[in-house]
Structure 1
Amino acid sequence: MSETQLQAARAGKITPAMEQVAAQEGQDAGSIRELVAQGKIAIPANPGHTSLAPRGVGQGLSVKVNANLGSSPDRCDPVEEAEKLAAALEAGADAVMDLSTGGDLTAMRRQVLNLSPVPVGTVPIYQAAVEVTAEGRGIIDITAEDLFRVIEQQAAEGVDFMTVHCGVTRAAVEHLRSEGRITDVVSRGGSFLTCWMLANEQENPLYEQYDRLLDICQKHDVTLSLGDGLRPGCLADATDRAQVSELITLGALTQRAWDAGVQVMIEGPGHVPLDQVQANVVLQKRLCHGAPFYVLGPLVTDIAAGHDHVACAIGGALAAWAGADFLCYVTPSEHLALPGPNDVYEGVITTRIAAHAADIARGNQAAIARDRAMAQARKAMDWDAMFELCLDPKTAKAMRAGSPPGEEEVCTMCGKYCAMKLVNEHLHGKD
């Protein structure tokens, strides 16, 4: 049986993936190995994903951005899914997740794995639910064998990380019931398991058979992304007993995964008031032993429909500054429709802005140097350098081309009254 990144790190070995992450981050490979060994950095890198260029997530690394892709029962075009993946990669996503629930799910996932050089994640219970309903059964009829067969299949195909809602236990559901939430459960996987447990009066098989899950993940070096199935779906539900009880369980499951040589990330809440974001990050890091934290947003208001990517970026910047390691994007169509390629591109760029702002606040020297270089390029009126340095050169170039100035070195905002041009001329004597 092959070693996982975690097992190799604990044995004192520096793997090629660790060397690649170190080169990307401008760090020493030995330091990366040490933090992988401690579980504070995860490198999702299934050996079966042959097109992968690994990325690291966790302590001391740049904040990473994930883009969710995937079809739905109402919209399942493989061509569009390939376009969405291309848009995510062009915009600079560090990872993608295939959340398809419509069409040929295996073909969709294999397409993403073949085309993606970044880590690919899934939520296996989606495929299990689609398959049982296609057979005329209901979601409450999913069996443990249905679920673990899908997990084994996806792991063998090369999926790098999997969201599994192991902390949605019967006890957590009782906390949910007594809490009196407004939005109850908004996680799709969390809702499947909640309904299954209520209907069958049995424990969550992902929790009850956790060792079986660990065996599969260790065999294929799949990183567990321990999902927040009871994440709040509105500000009023944030940081309640249901959410925190699940997080406590995930902390215990993190230690068990590490003991089995399996890498772990912890998923965090979706809707959180601005004043609770930092507390949520501190709580996760404490309860889950410093494991990498992967947050959806968080969205800091419930009323930004059509602009939820902005609400996400505000919360994401604060969460990452407080210690979150991995930001899951939100697109402008969140809560409204399945995103298309343009939504994907805009969502990734907006979340990358949040990640970069957090990197600066966290003292990342490469991020700080990039902003300083941009300031110098602006002072020099060097448009080529400005386009090269900005996070979205394509949009920046198109905006400038669409409104050409009368004088080449300025833009049409100020024209000949450009403050920087005037001061360059009179303070520094530059023509």
Structure 2
Amino acid sequence: DEDNDEDNEHQEEERREDVAHAYFVEKYLGCGGYGKVAQCTRLDNKVKMAVKIVRNDMTWAGKREVAVLQKLRKLDQDKNNLVRFAEHFEYKGHVCLAFEMLDINIYDFIRSRDFQPLHLSEIRVITQQMLVALNALKSVGLSHADVKPDNIMLVNHHQQPFRVKLIDFGLAANVSKIHAGTLIQAIGYRAPEVILGLPLDEAVDMWSLGCVLAFMYLGQNLYPIRCAYQVMRAIVQMQGLPDDHLLNSGIYSSCFFSKDKDSSNPSWRLNTEAEYMLLTGSKTRRYRGIFDKLTSLNDVTKTRPEVNDTTEFEDTQAFLSLLKRMLQVDPQKRITLSEALGHRFITMKHFPHDANPNPYMSAAFSTIKKCQLEESSVKFKHFVTSSEVVSFKGESVFMMNDHPHVLQLTGPLKATTRVHQRKLA
């Protein structure tokens, strides 16, 4: 039996070496703390692949990511907007992961346009695809834990404009195993419950995606990206102090907030930069950004010229409504994935029901059509806000059979018949 085990191990090693020799490295695309990514060609079929080469002192991280990727194989990776994982192998002590070759990430794409913001119709299709991706992760009990523009990639922008996939599952983890106090996510995309050291679940990804929406709309980061204290300062400035029950429970709350001990009814306040440095030993890194100019999330839409078209104005309000719900400081009040998929910004049910759509509507429908989204069976709940008239019968604009311009665009969404009504101010 031992001999058989040794033979099997030897054969597996030889197979891995054979697989490794099947790739020709053309160029390196980027590098990070984990290692680097190379553009390779498979010698047997000449197909270009992206190969992630993990540092040889981080083999554990590579094997952990392989375990997550194998779990994702249960899902249809194309329909769920997840990067297609081909195989893994070891080469000279490096764990290597081979993926389909994609185009360019959202950060680099917007940078290539001199940080010119995206149109609302473009933000919509990207958002819908990422909600489907995160919903798929949730279905197998996973949180991505590193959603940011760099990890959302255009598939082939020339052939399918704004068709995107979620990449990099190096930090992804079982939701049940992410403990309070675990530091995950890039700082500017880090959820308040992570910063404060509160219990964590997939709601952390919704916060990060909200930050991505803001980045695409503004052409710059909504929150500071280098210092957790400055993130919390910006949150307080735009959204107010986190609720007492959050601050009372957070492992790290006292690093960022204090209570006045001399008061008979002490209330929380944000620590000064000096207090934060004294408590943590960490220097705060302050720099200028859009967050210095915003006093509330409502100010986000004021960064663009005033809108005269009624449909565009309603669409802007729908975008702001979804953004504010994604960026709820309390994770229990944050919009869920199924609710977000049913929000009017995604379903477009706020668009006039007209057989002859105006130019703004036509452009929005055209963006969806050009994207050529995969058919998905994702179910969602209609999300009704207090600003909407709650009299519709539960049909999404995507599902209205007598709207010829929308009927052909129903692919990405299939509605449930039950209306989920959750009113929020």
| Normalised-by-shorter TM-score class | under 0.3
Structure ranking higher in helix proportion:
1
* Superposition TM-score, scaled by structure 1 size: 0.26
* Superposition TM-score, scaled by structure 2 size: 0.26
